[in-house]
Amino acid sequence: MEDEPSVRHLACSVLENLGHKVLSASNGKDALHVARGQKRSPIRLVITDVIMPVMGGKVMAERLKTRYPNLKILFTSGYTDDAILAHGVLQPGVEFLPKPYTPAALARKVRHLLDEKSTSEPAGPED
């Protein structure tokens, strides 16, 4: 989830070139709508800007985690650490990639998160 079209397009292109299926949204509300429409396979990872219009990344991530408990979240931002701290994102166990990031840095972070072993069942919508 990224509100800046050029950054969103670049991230999607990098991930698609690595063989990942990518869903995209320009704000948190749209991301929730896109996720609700995803029926074929579980969403394993969400990459989201912290500060977004309509609904911020943290709120959107919290809502998605209720549906997909094992969902991995990667927060990104070009704002200063103080601004990110104010949004309550930089906490132990939270994955963060500062902007601007390179395609290689994004690929490494995504691989790291997807390779992490979960202690429970694969993420999926709860019935």
Domains: count for the chain:
1
Kindly give the interhelix angle for 5-17 and 103-115, rounded to the nearest 10 degrees: 60
77-123 pLDDT, tens per residue?
A: 887 665 555 556 666 567 889 999 999 999 999 999 999 875 444 44
Per the listing, tokens 């998605």 go with: 64
Q: Does 81 fall in a domain?
A: yes
pLDDT in tens, 39-59: 778 899 999 998 888 888 888
Question: Which one-letter amino acid corresponds to residue 20?
Answer: H
pTM: 0.81
Give per-residue pLDDT as tens, 24-36: 999 999 999 999 8
**How far is it, in rounded angstroms, from Cα 11 to Cα 7?**
6
| CATH number of the domain to which 16 belongs | 3.40.50.2300
Domain holding 42, by residue range, is: 5-115
